[in-house]
């Protein structure tokens, strides 16, 4: 169902928005209803130059849309108002240099199954994916690193895209581990080991080639955990993504704000990403992160630097880029290198 990243490179003018969401059907559609839905969607998508995938299983929708940013925004506005589904949640939204479903106006896979009862809570992801996620969390809590590596590598070999592995498996698994610790279902050591295993397994994720313009620009980024942050899953996995995209990558795991600003002063990167834990909410760190970003801007004032932030705090929209003074807050790992390349280019023009 999930196809491998296309291998074509595109110029920045051809970048597309890729949006993946999940929702719950308000009524059980028949097979004929799904056929009509797909037919209408294909005609609409074709007119907007939008491609994608729609999965329906056990009362749940999972859809990926990709196309010109304005077209996807227009389509998304219509989807949000559609009364055929509810509990709509965006899983991933990012820019990409290559379409995943370039051959399809809409690829549909539908399995009716049983509709969830009206009072049932929405599933975090469609059942087929939820089973894999549950298994991944179980393996992490049982410290079975070999099985985790085999599982993630197997999905990559089957053609799961980098965005799918990160957005549907690794990032939700990290949050589930954090919840397990918050609920006293595991120790802090279990949490740390589980995140480390996800980090190692994440290196099996394969990224499609970026546009040649990014490679020629040789952008430089400093990937750093927030001062004192012990969880480095997101920062480590971002390194693979940015290296694959042709960026020059430096990494930092500072214990203090001063250590981070000293490294910024020495390296003068085009962008810096400051990551909080992907497992824990870290709501109490807002003020400290805002201070860190304020001082970082003072250090790089003569060399305009794009400042990005990430972690569970931003993935769940508890905080925004504006609330901490950043230029960008990533809701997930997928597509970050493309989005920051856009912001760096804008910075240079300004």
Q: Which helix (H) or strand (E) holds 22?
A: strand 16-25
Question: What tens digit of pLDDT does each residue of 287-311 get?
Answer: 999 999 999 999 988 888 999 999 9
Q: Are 276 and 289 in contact (CB under 8 A)?
A: yes
Q: Give residue 215's pLDDT band: very low, low, confident or very high (50, 70, 90).
A: low
Q: Domain check: are 71 and 140 in the same one?
A: no
d(CA 265, CA 147): 42
- For the segment 247-259, the average pLDDT, to the nearest whole number, is 94
How far is CA 105 from each of CA 9, 38, 50, 288, 334, rounded to the nearest angstrom? 20, 9, 7, 46, 22
Q: Which is more confident, 18 or 196?
A: 196
Kindly state whether residue 2 falls inside one of the protein's structural domains. Answer: no
Q: Domain check: are 238 and 328 in the same one?
A: yes
Domain boundary residue among 70, 96, 120?
120
Residue 150 has pLDDT above 60, yes or no: yes
Nearest alpha-carbon partner for 16 in 242, 335, 332: 335
DSSP letter assigned to residue 165: I
Kindly state whether residue 6 falls inside one of the protein's structural domains. Answer: no
d(CA 238, CA 289): 19
- Domain limits for position 142: 129-204
Q: Domain check: are 18 and 99 in the same one?
A: yes
* Contacts (Cβ under 8 Å, ≥6 apart) of 230: 192, 277
Highest mean pLDDT: which of 83-92, 95-104, 266-275? 266-275
Number of domains in the chain: 3
Residue 109 has pLDDT above 60, yes or no: no
* pTM check: above 0.75: no
Q: Are 341 and 218 in contact (CB under 8 A)?
A: no
Q: Domain check: are 198 and 325 in the same one?
A: no
CATH number at residue 54: 3.30.70.100
CATH number at residue 200: 1.10.1240.10
Q: What is the pLDDT of residue 93?
A: 78
Q: Domain check: are 252 and 146 in the same one?
A: no
d(CA 34, CA 36): 5
| Averaged pLDDT score across all residues of the chain | 83
Q: Give residue 158's pLDDT band: very low, low, confident or very high (50, 70, 90).
A: confident
Kindly state whether residue 1 falls inside one of the protein's structural domains. Answer: no
Q: Which helix (H) or strand (E) holds 135?
A: helix 127-141
Highest mean pLDDT: which of 56-60, 147-151, 270-274? 270-274
Kindly state whether residue 278 falls inside one of the protein's structural domains. Answer: yes
Domain boundary residue among 55, 85, 120?
120
Question: What tens digit of pLDDT does each residue of 120-132 get?
Answer: 333 345 566 788 8
Q: Which helix (H) or strand (E) holds 122?
A: none
Q: What is the pLDDT of residue 74?
A: 92
């Amino acid at each position: 169902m999930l196809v491998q990243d296309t291998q074509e490179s595109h110029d920045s003018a051809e970048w597309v928005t890729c949006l993946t969401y999940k929702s719950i059907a308000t009524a059980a559609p028949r097979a004929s209803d799904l056929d009509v839905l797909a037919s209408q969607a294909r005609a609409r998508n074709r007119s907007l130059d939008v491609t994608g995938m729609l999965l329906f299983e056990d009362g749940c929708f999972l859809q990926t849309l990709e196309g010109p940013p304005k077209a996807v925004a227009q389509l998304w506005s219509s989807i949000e108002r559609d009364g055929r589904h509810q509990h709509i949640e965006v899983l991933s939204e990012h820019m990409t240099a290559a379409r995943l479903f370039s051959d399809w106006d809409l690829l549909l896979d539908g399995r009716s199954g049983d509709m969830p009862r009206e009072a049932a809570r929405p599933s975090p992801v469609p059942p087929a994916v939820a089973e894999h996620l549950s298994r991944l969390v179980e393996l992490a809590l049982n410290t079975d690193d070999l099985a985790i590596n085999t599982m993630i590598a197997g999905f990559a070999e089957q053609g799961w895209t980098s965005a799918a592995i990160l957005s549907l498996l690794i990032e939700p698994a990290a949050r589930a581990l954090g919840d397990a610790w918050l609920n006293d279902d595991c120790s802090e050591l279990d949490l740390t080991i589980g995140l480390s295993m996800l980090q190692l397994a994440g290196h099996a994720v394969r990224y499609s080639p970026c546009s040649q313009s990014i490679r020629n620009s040789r952008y430089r980024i400093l990937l750093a955990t927030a001062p004192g942050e012990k969880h480095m899953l997101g920062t480590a996995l971002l390194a693979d993504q940015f290296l694959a995209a042709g960026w020059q990558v430096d990494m930092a795991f500072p214990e203090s704000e001063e250590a981070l600003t000293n490294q910024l002063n020495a390296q003068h990167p085009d962008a810096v990403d400051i990551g909080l834990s992907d497992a824990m909410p870290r709501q109490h760190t807002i003020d400290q992160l805002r201070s860190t970003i304020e001082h970082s801007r003072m250090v790089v004032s003569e060399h305009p630097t794009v400042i990005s932030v990430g972690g569970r705090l931003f993935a769940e929209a508890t905080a925004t880029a504006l609330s901490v003074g950043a230029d960008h807050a990533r809701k997930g790992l997928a597509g970050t290198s493309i989005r920051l390349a856009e912001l760096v280019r804008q910075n240079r023009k300004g």
